[in-house]
Structure 1
Amino acid sequence: MSDQQKAFIQNITNRLGRPMSTEAPRHPFKGAPDFWQGYELDEEDRIELFCENWKKAGGHSFRFSTMEEAKQFIVEKATELKARELILQNQPELLALGLPEKLPESHFTVWHPANRDALLAQAASADIGISIVDHGVSHTGTVVVTSSGDTGRSVSLLPTVFIAILPVDRLKTKLGEVMTEYDGKEREQFPAGIHFISGPSRSADIENDLTIGVHGPGVVFALLVG
């Protein structure tokens, strides 16, 4: 600590009538307490709590037994919304659904690392973006999406509507369970980005005037599958 900093702190302690501390304060506890580390909900409770918190944040959630049922929902929703431009994450399980065959009048784009500028423009003009998410978190009503060259973050951030497909076996109780999966990893093993999405985009000005969908999708769906 410099002499100037010491003088500044000494001035404060004098005014408070307290002696100046000469030792750094002890911090005996680090991280979450033991009772929270061991806290775990069963699957049905995780699903119920996630849907409740996702709804509170302005999102819509639906549960399906199979990916085929989720596919049918997407087809019906895209038809209802008259979606003409859809962008899909480059994920084999998602592409295997064969959505373009079910929506022949719509144009589909699959994210690919080549020609990034054109893909960004297509994502920004897309009616719906669809991705199978990496994780879900019950206590915060959050879906977690990682990005890389093959899986662009723009799929979930730029379209008007975002549909997140969440396999229930990826649904965690606490946010810390997701974070520990990345803790201690080497830099080369990290994804390009880790994105936490809790409902639609929400923005407020200095007067607390809330607007939905300014910096991201205004409508978000979470499809829990399994």
Structure 2
Amino acid sequence: MENTRDTENTENKKNTHQEWLDQLRRESLAKQEKFMNGIAGKLGRPRVTEKPEHPFRGAPDFWNSFEWPMEERIERFTANFQSAGGHVARCLTMEEAKTFIADKARETSAKYIIRQDQPELDALGLENELPEAKLTVWNHGQEPAEHAQEEDWKARAAEADMGIVLVDYATAYTGSMTVLSSKAKGRSVSLLPTILMAILPVERLRTRLGETLVHFDRAGRDNLPAGIHFISGPSRSADIENDLTIGVHGPGIVYAILVG
């Protein structure tokens, strides 16, 4: 009998608690309706109770067709990138870009350099141009050993004075470079070194960000790269007091080297 009474008491408590919660919910909804009706009355118009139709999706037609000429793209990209604290250099050829990078490496006393494993960067021959520096190619079977863990490569990138990457896409309107990650193009190469040298062939520079994003839409979810990284200058961090610090969560010095 006692067990039966205990069960009944428990059920009664559950029912009473649920009734109390239901009552609170009704009161809350009533207050919400009163509040919203009061706002509508102050605005002098009826409440909108149905979801409005949105006939347009995505960017408007005028923006989809908007495009700057090449030289204006370069000028706008340069202005926007520099306004965020980045540096821009213009080189006519990859040979000039190699000379620029080598000069900056000597100027900053860069002793350890890491770069992506890309044919265009192989062709620069920076190993011969900078014999005094130790240059490592990401995930290329040099140091660390071919089958070393990813963490070892991250450690090498963190020790590097300079990282060198080839930009995949760039946007003039936002002053942004887009660098993709893969086995040969580790994100750490652009994220961890103190100085970043990003080589940007000018034919990869577009006006709008949508011109970059469309490539990922076309690729589909199954064919997306391991990472998509937007770089708009050096790392910038600020605390709650708006105290800005450069280079805490990424390179403190970033060069966009426009080639072409």
TM-score (norm 2): 0.82
Partner of 1:219: 253
User: 5 Å matches for 1:68-83?
Assistant: 68-83=95-110
One-letter code aligned to 1:77: K
| Distance in 1 (alpha carbons) for counterparts of 2:194 and 2:27 | 53
Deviation at 1:115, TM superposition (A): 2.7
Partner of 2:39: 16
Q: Does 1:91 align with 2:125?
A: no
Q: Deviations over 1:177-224 (max 9, x none)?
A: 101111143222100111100000001111111110010000000100
Deviation at 1:17, TM superposition (A): 4.3
Q: 1:163 aligns with which of 180, 188, 197?
A: 197
Q: Does 1:65 align with 2:61?
A: no
One-letter code aligned to 1:218: G
| Distance in 1 (alpha carbons) for counterparts of 2:187 and 2:201 | 19
Gapped regions of structure 1 (runs ≥ 5): none
Q: 1:25 aligns with which of 29, 52, 55?
A: 52
Which shows bigger deviation, 202-211 or 178-187? 178-187
Gapped regions of structure 2 (runs ≥ 5): 1-24, 141-147
Report which of the two structures shows the higher radius of gyration computed on alpha carbons: 2
Identity %: 56
| Distance in 1 (alpha carbons) for counterparts of 2:30 and 2:169 | 50
Partner of 1:128: 162
Q: 1:40 aligns with which of 49, 67, 82?
A: 67
Which shows bigger deviation, 195-204 or 20-29? 20-29
Q: Is the partner of 2:216 in helix, strand or coil?
A: coil
Deviation at 1:112, TM superposition (A): 1.0
Partner of 1:110: 137
Question: Would you say how many aligned residue pairs link Structure 1 and Structure 2?
Answer: 225
8 Å contact from structure 2 (residues 182, 226) kept in 1: yes
Deviation at 1:70, TM superposition (A): 0.2
Deviation at 1:47, TM superposition (A): 0.7
- Evaluate the alpha carbon distance shift between residue 74 and residue 32 of structure 1 in structure 2; reply closer, same or farther with a 3 A threshold: same
TM-score (norm 1): 0.93
Deviation at 1:63, TM superposition (A): 0.7
Q: Deviations over 1:43-79 (max 9, x none)?
A: 1111111111111011111111110000001111101
User: 5 Å matches for 1:139-154?
Assistant: 139-154=173-188
| Distance in 2 (alpha carbons) for counterparts of 1:3 and 1:150 | 59
8 Å contact from structure 2 (residues 138, 186) kept in 1: yes
Q: Deviations over 1:54-107 (max 9, x none)?
A: 110111111111100000011111011100010001111101211011111111
Q: Is the partner of 1:183 in helix, strand or coil?
A: helix
Which shows bigger deviation, 33-42 or 14-23? 14-23
Deviation at 1:29, TM superposition (A): 1.9
| Distance in 1 (alpha carbons) for counterparts of 2:31 and 2:100 | 63
Deviation at 1:14, TM superposition (A): 2.8
Partner of 1:55: 82
8 Å contact from structure 2 (residues 40, 47) kept in 1: no
8 Å contact from structure 1 (residues 123, 158) kept in 2: yes
8 Å contact from structure 1 (residues 9, 20) kept in 2: no
| RMSD across aligned positions (CA) | 1.8
Which shows bigger deviation, 151-160 or 105-114? 105-114
| Distance in 2 (alpha carbons) for counterparts of 1:3 and 1:25 | 26
| Distance in 1 (alpha carbons) for counterparts of 2:68 and 2:56 | 25
| Distance in 2 (alpha carbons) for counterparts of 1:5 and 1:97 | 68
8 Å contact from structure 1 (residues 10, 20) kept in 2: no
Deviation at 1:33, TM superposition (A): 1.4
User: 5 Å matches for 1:178-197?
Assistant: 178-197=212-231
